[in-house]
Every structure is written in C-alpha cells, then in structure tokens.
C-alpha cells in the first residue's frame, strides 16, 4: 500500500522545507561574503565566456505512448530543448487534438531563445553577453553595460561618448508628463506614479504609436534605437520626479554635465542648486547597482513587457506594464517587504525569536532565497562589498544592524 500525505501534512512539509531552505540560503550568502574584490575604475578588461551546452547538446528523443503503443521521435536542439508543439502529434482518440504541455509558472518552459544573459542558479553564475557580472560591476559603467546588452558588444571609446551624449540629450521630459505627476496625491506610491508617467509618455510621442503609424515599429532599427535612448534618458528623470512628489518637493530638471548616475542623485538631492554635485563614490555605487539590475533573463517584468510588445503596442505602454509588474511584492516590491521585516525585528537581540517564528511559519522571511539561485546570488556578493563604503560616507541606519554580515557567526549557528 502506497503511503500518502494528507493535503494539510503535505502543505506543512513544503512550507517547513521552504523556511529551512531560506535560512540555508542565508548561510550561503554569508559564507560567500568571505571573498571580496577591489572595485577599481580601471580600463575595462573583461573576457566573455561561452555558455556551456545544455543536457549533452542536440539529438533526438523517442517517446512511446503506452496507451497506443505508437512511437514518436522528436528533435532535441543544441540548447537541449524540445518544441512543445511536437507533443501535439501524440494523439489517442478523443478530440484528436493531441497532448498539451502543462507547466504552471513556466518552471521548465523556455518561451524565447536568447544570448543576452546566462544564469547558472546552482553555481551562482550570472553573465551578460558572456561577461561575468562581477567583472562588469568592477570595471564598467552602467551605460557601457546598457550598450552591451542592447547591441551585443562593448562600445569603443568613440561609440561610448556618442551613446552617453544621445542618452543625456533625451533626459528632459515634457511638461505635460510632469503635470500628470503633479496631479497625483502626495502620498501616492512612487512606483504607481512612475507607471502613470511612463504611460503618459506614449501620448507625447505619436511617432512611437503603431496605432497611428500603422506599422510594426519594432522592425525598424532606426525607430528602435530612438526609443532606446529616449527610455534610458527619461526614466531616471521620471523616477526622481516620482520620489520628489512623495517628498512634497517640485521636480528638478536634469543636468547634462553629469554622468548618468550622478545626474540621478543630483535630481534627488540638489533642491535645484545647479552647483550641487553628488559624492563621486556614491554615484559609482549607484552605477554598480544599476549594472547589477540591468538584466536577469525572463523575469516577471521582462515577460510582461514582451507580452505587451507582442501585440505591437508602443514601447512606453509596454514598459508601463513591466513597471507595474516590478511593483508587485513577489518581484521588485520585495525590497519594501525587507524594510518592513527589519522594522518588525527592531534589533539584533530579537533575531533568534524572529527566526524561530519563521521556522514555525508564524512569520515570513523576506529578501532571502531566490527562484533561480539555489546557492547564492552573485549580485549580493557585490552589494555587500560596497555596503561598508556607503556606511562610511553616509552613516549607518540602526535598522540595518540585523542584516550586517559581521553577525555571521550568530546567524550561521542559528541556521
């Protein structure tokens, strides 16, 4: 007789396992922090690596339908994938429609073939176009990385200068869009404000509206390139304006004399003082954070953008939808959940009680564990290296104490 768990027992076991896994991943994060790299701004010198072949490369798969005894042979691609539509060939009476592949959450479904990024979640590897994320974060700038992601290669010095100039020239936003932001309540969440302002941009650029142009704008390289620099230039201005609206302050116009990240900090902190210049190291740290979050294959917001763009809608509407997805607490909104969790913990002394509640499923641990990374997140290693530098410049909020890696021995013994 086969032993079976009841529904409640099964759910409880999975939740308990999930809690233990999160604590174990926390331990791996802490252990990975023992090695650190120096983040110098030397000339970029990184080497791209080719992603390994998956599942032994190409070949064929023979499937036997035990219902009918029929055999089917399917092609396996070089990337180790099968076409889901091949399973439609397996028919055994009924409606004659063939088998369908059921994969809730797309846990083992590849909707697109891409060479933009490579992730090995078991080994904690993340590469952009073959370049390790750690090396790009150490030696490159965000706009260099953006160029790499867009066009497949790192820019030359001349290309980079032209690219930076083009993005800076598109950093100003129409007054119409700023009026939309000003019309929203002061207590509106900045992500909601950002969604509204990005969507409003579509009304200001009719040349990017396929409904008006009557064509597929995504097939025109010239149009795509124009929208790329527009988005890169304008979104930081919109994000800063959304934050300032929440703070009850008027928007600050961008400065073309500053770097990409310097300009963003300038809009946040200058109060309109044209002579204000952000701390260079803080600007560099922000640039690195932008690099770390620039690409992460088919995540929720990327999938949302692609889904909307597949209808031929303008790029701003597609990105507004993607920003809305990023807003969700199971995606980018998890950052806010971490802050809420830290406020609940309050102090280092209360960590044992909190972790015990997590193990007993009375509380949820936010910010640890990842759907893809089963060992550690390589981006977290870079962030932790930078954290002490930032604390030395701006001071340290007591709220962050429970997460400091210096508490590693205690946390590891607890896990």
* Separation of alpha carbons 264 and 255, rounded Å: 9
Domains of the chain: 51-110 (no CATH), 143-327 (1.10.580.10), 339-407 (no CATH)
DSSP symbols for 167-215: HHHT----HHHHHHHHHS-TTS-HHHHHHHHHHHHHHH-GGG-HHHHTS
CB burial of 345-367 (b: ≥16 within 10 Å; e: otherwise) equals: beeeeebeebbeebbeeebebbb
Give residue 5's pLDDT. 31
* Separation of alpha carbons 82 and 323, rounded Å: 32
Return the DSSP state at 224: H
**Dihedrals φ, ψ of 17, to 5°?**
-60, -40
Give residue 291's pLDDT. 98
Of how many residues is the chain composed? 415
**Dihedrals φ, ψ of 393, to 5°?**
-90, -45
pTM of the model: 0.81
Question: What is the bridge-based pairing of β-strands 125-128 and 131-132?
Answer: antiparallel
Q: What angle is formed at CA 181 by the lines to CA 177 and CA 187, rounded to 5 degrees?
A: 170
Per-residue pLDDT of the chain (415 residues; tens, 9 = 90+): 333 333 333 333 333 444 444 444 334 443 444 433 333 333 344 556 655 556 577 899 999 999 999 999 999 988 888 999 999 999 987 777 899 999 988 888 888 888 999 999 889 899 999 999 999 999 999 999 999 999 999 999 999 999 999 999 999 999 999 999 999 999 999 999 999 999 999 888 777 676 666 667 788 888 889 999 999 999 999 999 999 999 999 999 999 999 999 999 999 999 989 999 999 999 999 999 999 999 998 999 999 999 999 988 889 999 999 999 999 988 888 888 888 888 888 888 888 898 899 899 988 888 776 778 777 889 988 998 898 899 999 998 888 877 764 345 434 443 4
* Separation of alpha carbons 7 and 15, rounded Å: 12
Note whether 55 and 41 are within 8 A (CB). Answer: no
* 106-111 own/partner pairs: CB under 8 Å, 24+ apart: 106/298, 109/84, 110/79, 110/81, 111/298, 111/303, 111/306
Distances (CA, A) of 223 to 92, 216, 218: 49, 10, 7
């Amino acid at each position: 007789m086969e032993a079976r768990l009841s529904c409640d027992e099964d759910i409880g076991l999975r939740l308990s396992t999930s809690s233990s896994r999160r604590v174990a991943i926390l331990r791996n994060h802490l252990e990975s922090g023992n090695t650190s790299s120096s983040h110098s701004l030397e000339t970029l010198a990184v080497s791209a690596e080719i992603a390994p072949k998956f599942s032994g490369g190409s070949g064929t798969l023979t499937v036997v339908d035990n219902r009918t005894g029929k055999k089917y042979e399917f092609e396996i691609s070089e990337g180790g994938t099968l076409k889901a539509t091949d399973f439609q060939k397996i028919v055994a009476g009924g409606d004659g429609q063939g088998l369908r592949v059921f994969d809730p959450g797309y846990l083992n479904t590849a909707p697109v073939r891409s060479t933009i990024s490579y992730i090995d979640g078991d080994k904690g590897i993340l590469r952009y176009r073959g370049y390790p994320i750690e090396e790009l974060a150490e030696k490159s700038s965000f706009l260099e990385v953006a160029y790499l992601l867009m066009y497949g290669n790192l820019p030359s010095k001349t290309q980079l200068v032209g690219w930076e100039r083009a993005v800076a020239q598109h950093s100003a936003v129409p007054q119409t869009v700023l009026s939309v932001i000003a019309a929203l309540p002061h207590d509106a969440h900045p992500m909601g404000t950002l969604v509204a302002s990005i969507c409003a941009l579509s009304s200001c650029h009719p040349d990017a509206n396929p409904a008006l142009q009557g064509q597929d704008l995504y097939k025109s390289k010239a149009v795509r390139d124009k929208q790329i620099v527009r988005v890169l230039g304008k979104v930081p201005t919109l994000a800063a304006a959304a934050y300032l609206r929440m703070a009850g302050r008027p928007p600050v116009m961008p400065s073309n004399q500053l770097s990409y990240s310097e300009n963003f900090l300038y809009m946040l902190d200058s109060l309109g003082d044209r002579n204000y210049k952000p701390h260079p190291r803080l600007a560099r740290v922000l640039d690195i954070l932008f690099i770390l979050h620039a690409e992460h294959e088919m995540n929720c917001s990327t999938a949302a953008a692609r889904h909307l763009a597949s209808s031929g809608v303008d790029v701003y509407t597609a990105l507004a939808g993607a920003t809305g997805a990023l807003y969700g607490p199971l995606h980018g909104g998890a950052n806010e959940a971490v802050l809420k969790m830290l406020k609940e913990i309050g102090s280092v002394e209360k960590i044992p009680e909190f972790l015990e509640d997590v193990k007993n499923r009375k509380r949820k641990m936010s910010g640890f564990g990842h759907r893809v990374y089963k060992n550690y997140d390589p981006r977290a290693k870079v962030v932790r290296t930078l954290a002490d530098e930032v604390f030395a410049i701006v001071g340290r909020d007591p709220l962050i104490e429970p997460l400091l890696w210096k508490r590693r021995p205690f946390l590891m013994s607890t896990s």
